[in-house]
Homo-oligomer: A and B are copies of this chain.
Amino acid sequence: MRIGELAENCSVTTDTIRFYEKKGLIKSLRNPDNGYRTYSSSDIKKMMFIKHCKQAGFSLEDIRDLLLIWENKMDASCEDVKTLAEERLHKVEVMLSSLQTVHGILHTLVQSCCGGKESAEHCSILSAIEKGE
């Protein structure tokens, strides 16, 4: 399989596959005649694993580590995997928390404003921002 066919099979672009290779997520054999990258069906499985990891919110760096474990399950422990997942979960929770704070502020601001067509001189959003909420 050449890169275009792998890309087709996995619904990604060839650019993405080359990018993942550069980042150390996938390797490729080369056709010695023309230098073309060559893949097997196990690379489809690998690309699908990567896509599932992304759906779960893992970064490419996380995924590189998860792939190493996945391809060498006997040399890794559940602890290794769980630690990785917990660290990502924690980062997501931190982001979620600050996003929720921001959401609350914006929601309050939006609700306070009449949204009318008259001058913004009396706008409660502007005065709330001015005062720092």
Q: Does A35 contact B (CB under 8 A)?
A: no
Q: Mark A50-65, 1 if CB is under 8 A from B, else 0.
A: 0111011100000000
Is A77 a contact partner of B117 (Cβ separation < 8 A)?
yes
Is B105 a contact partner of A69 (Cβ separation < 8 A)?
no
Of the four ranges (under 10, 10 to 19, 20 to 34, 35 or more), the interface on chain A belongs to: 35 or more
Given contacts A130-B52, A133-B52, contact A89 B77 (CB under 8 A): no
Residues of A within 8 A of B (CB): 48-49, 51-53, 55-57, 66, 69-70, 73-74, 76-83, 85-86, 88-89, 92-93, 95-96, 99-100, 102-103, 105-107, 109-110, 113-123, 125-126, 129-133
